[in-house]
A and B are shown apart, each in its own frame.
Chain A
Amino acid sequence: MNNSTTIASILLAAILTNNMVLSKFLGICPFLGVSKKTDTAFSMGVAVTLVMVVATAVTWPIYHFILAPSYTYLETIVFILVIAAIVQLIETVLKKYIKPLYNALGIYLPLITTNCAVLGITMLNITDSLNFVQSLFNALGAGLGFLLAMLLFSGVRERLETADIPEFLKGLPITLVAAALVSLSFLGFAGIGG
């Protein structure tokens, strides 16, 4: 397989087959927390995508040039440290140079500091022994997959608002049931793109 098809399949797999939220069940907190409205869901999705790519670009070299091979057990703590710092840095930079984007992302950017989906993708890149470029595309795909899941689910939730739901299922229970159904539909993608 040549390079471009590998990247295409990585992207496809990350978005659909191994969708962060719906197949790996990472980042459930923002998935349930900010998916009430489509526009906030979109902001959150973009913020997560951005942070995932930048975080991967920094953590991959750190792992392969500093931690490997003797100190790989430091992966988790170092990655958390680095991701937290990066999110803060991105916030400062955006505030200075891209004010509209900063305003659009708003509170969601700092919220991602400890998002498990971000930590998850950086660690998965290491476990799957992807090279640097592949890792970046995997992170991009995972971010887009997260965005897709958020958008789909916010659509479902907006419909739920007006639906006639039995009393005992109102609120979180029906949300979780809906999430499970959306997740189930993504099972159909299993096998595509490897």
Chain B
Amino acid sequence: MEIVIPVIIVGIIGFIAGLGLSLASKFMSVPTDEKQQKIRDALPGANCGACGYSGCDGYAAAVASGEASPDKCAPGGAASAAALAEILGVEVVTERKTAFIACGGTCENTKQKFNYDGMQSCTAASLVSGGPLECEYGCIGFGDCAKVCPFGAITMQNGRPVVCGDICVGCGKCVYVCPKSLISLMPETAKVRVNCSNKAKGAPVVKACSVSCIACKMCERACESGAIKVENNLAVIDYSLCTACGKCKSACKRSVII
């Protein structure tokens, strides 16, 4: 019977502690901000951190306190921004952004520098003298971006990653993982895009890949609104001026602009 008293002692202390806690939580509970709770419910709850806060709860608190704007949620996109704006009673204009991989190189049109037989990852391959491709700016094609995508929006087709615009929520995970920094988040409204990241010029670029930007400036001359400029040997489109007329596309001899 020796066991009875210690059990009772621990039991009683535990009971008192439990009682104290439940009383405390009852009488000293802080009502969570109703607005914050509503915002939290309107968010998708992926806890992806694309908004820059620790998770959906952190973002909801920041939005409720007016610290963050309601359009930061990438997975929720325009729908959640609209829902949040309605809760807050403000209006927001959002643009849906999706990932865009600025490289048109494939096994056929980009030459190999050497046969890479190591770890099947772009990051690893890029460490071996800049990757196995003749073009040191191009997509290596081991699909680090497809592996990191939490939504399965990037699939590998013929050794090249393809972004499915309908699934992509623009969280930006692939942007960070690409060792060649080929991926950027582009507004869906951007109809004309430069599909190359090669910043070198001249003959080596022509030799390395058949769909590379050689900085010939044909697009720059063709553009009537002055939206496309060649900077650092690469065509760059200023979307605030672009009228999506498509003249640059037909002017480009190397099918870089799509």
Chain A positions near chain B (C-beta within 8 angstroms): 62, 66-67, 71, 74, 77-78, 81-82, 84-85, 88-89, 92-93, 95-97
Contact = CB atoms under 8 A, between A and B. Distances in A.
User: Chain B binding site: helix, strand, loop or mixed by DSSP?
Assistant: helix
B25 A92 contact: yes
Interface of B: 5-6, 9-10, 13-14, 17-18, 20-21, 24-25, 28-30
A46 B5 CA distance: 38
Contacts of A78: 9-10, 13
A81 B24 contact: no
Contacts of A82: 13, 17
Contacts of A81: 10, 13-14, 17
A144 B10 CA distance: 31
Chain A interface helix/strand/loop/mixed: helix
B57 to A, nearest CB: 12
A88 B18 CA distance: 10
Contact of B28 (A62, A66, A85, A92): A92
Given A85-B17, A95-B30, A71 B9 contact: yes
A77 B6 CA distance: 11
Given A71-B6, A95-B30, A62 B24 contact: no
Nearest to A83: B17
B17 A74 contact: no
A144 B29 CA distance: 30
A89 B24 contact: yes
Contact of B13 (A62, A93, A97): A62
Nearest to A102: B30
A96 B9 contact: no
